[in-house]
Amino acid sequence: MNWDDTTDAASAEERLVGSVADREDQAVEAALRPKDLGEFIGQEKVREQLDLVLRAARARGATADHVLLSGAPGLGKTTLSMIIAAEMGAPIRITSGPAIQHAGDLAAILSSLQEGEVLFLDEIHRMSRPAEEMLYMAMEDFRVDVVVGKGPGATAIPLELPPFTLVGATTRAGLLPPPLRDRFGFTAHMEFYEPTELERVVHRSASLLDVEIDTDGAAEIAGRSRGTPRIANRLLRRVRDYAQVKADGIIDRDIAAAALKVYEVDARGLDRLDRAVLQALLKLFGGGPVGLSTLAVAVGEERETVEEVAEPFLVREGLLARTPRGRVATPAAWAHLGLTPPRSTAAGGGQQDLFGA
Ligand code: ADP
């Protein structure tokens, strides 16, 4: 495998429940990645469809169609791209949109691909416009025009490429311009994982890491992993440390809960920042509505941090709603922090209108 990677993922979001890979994740994830579709847990529909696409291509002796994978970080897009290469018996090249700022960067990668090679392009929506346009032709005709020289003397030299499979990954397929989206033969959307699936991920990783864990211990970690295998694996490593230092190394429910209490990851997977936002919303602003800037000042964070780091998960969990009049806590938020909502909320007045009830 050839890492052609300069992603800025490591610096993006270094928190225990962050879904972007940090340096430690990058170092250990290779050992935990499922190697074939049979080992890949969950995502039944995607697996079934991809299995058909790959089997058919193999039967025809052809290169697989281009594949677009969309979904949040940490759900297994890189892993699936490696599985596609493995199932096709092909080598894989890994790069990312931000690493390809010039069409020339892309031309260099494309022209060095081997026949049948899988090119994994992470964060494909962040590629530069000229590179994107070059990619259209490469995907469709396995050809690129390399422009040599500048101004009136510039000439386009056509370059034939070997057939290859592009696997593009993006957080949302809607971020891609339709002409690019249309050039993928198969598009799959990856969902967040169910707790039972994450339990299987935790058991599998524990056995690969030689860590002893019981069913309840795995369930405890899975429940706090925000639907994301990467987070499940990271929490497992932290709980393993705790179990080694404070107990006999074996993880059960009590050990997992005690360890994650130390790391301030609560029963629903909220961390210190998430809870600070909810607490400010409930205790200082009576559950809202309150403007984003005011809320950010109250927790001593940047607006963007609250909006992009804390809120998406709180909204997904049904704890916070973004309304035209500001941020509003849901009844579940009051319950989660063990607080009693003011009477108007409890009685279904005031705030209820904001949800359109
Ligand atoms: P993404 O590319 O979507 O950010 P990755 O493919 O890098 O996510 O997956 C992150 C980690 O989660 C990997 O170490 C991998 O082992 C694990 N993982 C992801 N999906 C699965 C799965 N379906 N089954 C088991 N482990 C998984």
- Alpha-carbon distances of 347 from 179, 296, 326, 331, 343, rounded to whole Å: 51, 28, 21, 11, 6
Closest Cα partner for 256 from 213, 210, 226? 213
Q: Which residue has the tokens 């010039």?
A: 102
* Domain, as residue range, for 215: 195-262
Over the chain, what is the mean pLDDT?
89
Q: Cβ(118)–Cβ(85) under 8 Å?
A: yes
CA 338 to the chain's CA centroid: 30
Is the domain of 165 the same as that of 68?
Answer: yes
Instruction: Examine the residue annotation and report whether 77 is marked as an active-site residue of this protein.
Output: yes
Which residue has a Cα nearest atom 7 of ligand 1? 78
Q: Is the pLDDT of residue 10 over 50?
A: no
CA 160 to the chain's CA centroid: 34
Q: Is the pLDDT of residue 349 over 50?
A: no
When pLDDT is averaged across residues 304-330 and rounded to a whole number, the result is 93
- Is residue 197 very low, low, confident or very high in pLDDT (cuts 50, 70, 90)? very high
Count how many domains the chain has: 4
Is the domain of 2 the same as that of 52?
Answer: no
Q: Is 226 annotated as a binding residue?
A: no
- Interval between CA 23 and ligand 1 midpoint (Å): 15
Position 39 in a domain: no
Residue where a domain stops, chosen among 208, 228, 262:
262
CA 280 to the chain's CA centroid: 28
Position 6 in a domain: yes
Position 127 in a domain: yes
- Interval between CA 356 and ligand 1 midpoint (Å): 38
Which residue has a Cα nearest atom 5 of ligand 1? 76
- Interval between CA 231 and ligand 1 midpoint (Å): 9
Is the domain of 185 the same as that of 310?
Answer: no
Q: Which two tokens stand for residue 119?
A: 């090119």
- For the CA of 82, the closest atom of ligand 1 is 6
Position 67 in a domain: yes
Task: Tell me if the bond preceding 289 is cis, omega within 30° of 0.
Answer: yes
When pLDDT is averaged across residues 64-74 and rounded to a whole number, the result is 95
Is the domain of 233 the same as that of 173?
Answer: no
Is the domain of 89 the same as that of 176?
Answer: yes
- For the CA of 193, the closest atom of ligand 1 is 23
- Is residue 341 very low, low, confident or very high in pLDDT (cuts 50, 70, 90)? confident
Q: Is the pLDDT of residue 275 over 90?
A: yes
Instruction: Indicate the pTM of the whole model.
Output: 0.87
Q: Is 77 annotated as a binding residue?
A: yes
Is the domain of 225 the same as that of 309?
Answer: no
Position 37 in a domain: no
- Interval between CA 124 and ligand 1 midpoint (Å): 18
Find the Cα–Cα–Cα–Cα dihedral 196, 252, 244, 12, rounded to 10°.
30
Q: Cβ(34)–Cβ(45) under 8 Å?
A: no
When pLDDT is averaged across residues 332-341 and rounded to a whole number, the result is 92
Is the domain of 166 the same as that of 93?
Answer: yes
- Lining residues, ligand 1, CB within 6 Å: 29, 32-34, 40-43, 73-79, 201, 229-230, 233
CA distance 9 to 7: 5
pLDDT digits (tens, 9 = 90+) for 76-109: 999 999 999 999 999 999 999 999 988 889 999 9
Instruction: Examine the residue annotation and report whether 4 is marked as an active-site residue of this protein.
Output: no
CATH number of the domain where residue 238 is located: 1.10.8.60
Instruction: Examine the residue annotation and report whether 323 is marked as an active-site residue of this protein.
Output: no
Q: Is the pLDDT of residue 117 over 90?
A: yes
Is the domain of 68 the same as that of 99?
Answer: yes
Position 241 in a domain: yes
Q: Is the pLDDT of residue 182 over 80?
A: yes
- For the CA of 204, the closest atom of ligand 1 is 25
- Interval between CA 76 and ligand 1 midpoint (Å): 3
Is the domain of 224 the same as that of 345?
Answer: no
Residue where a domain stops, chosen among 172, 189, 206:
189
Closest Cα partner for 137 from 66, 68, 80? 66
Which percentage of the chain shows pLDDT scores above 70?
92
Catalytic one among 22, 25, 63, 77? 77
Which residue has a Cα nearest atom 14 of ligand 1? 29
pLDDT digits (tens, 9 = 90+) for 205-236: 999 999 999 999 999 999 999 999 999 999 99
Position 38 in a domain: no
Is the domain of 78 the same as that of 158?
Answer: yes
More confident residue, 21 or 120: 120
Is the domain of 114 the same as that of 177?
Answer: yes
Residue where a domain stops, chosen among 262, 297, 312:
262
Position 258 in a domain: yes
Is the domain of 128 the same as that of 247?
Answer: no
Residue 112 is predicted with a pLDDT of: 94
Highest averaged pLDDT of the listed ranges 21-25, 128-132, 255-259 = 255-259
When pLDDT is averaged across residues 107-113 and rounded to a whole number, the result is 94
CATH number of the domain where residue 97 is located: 3.40.50.300
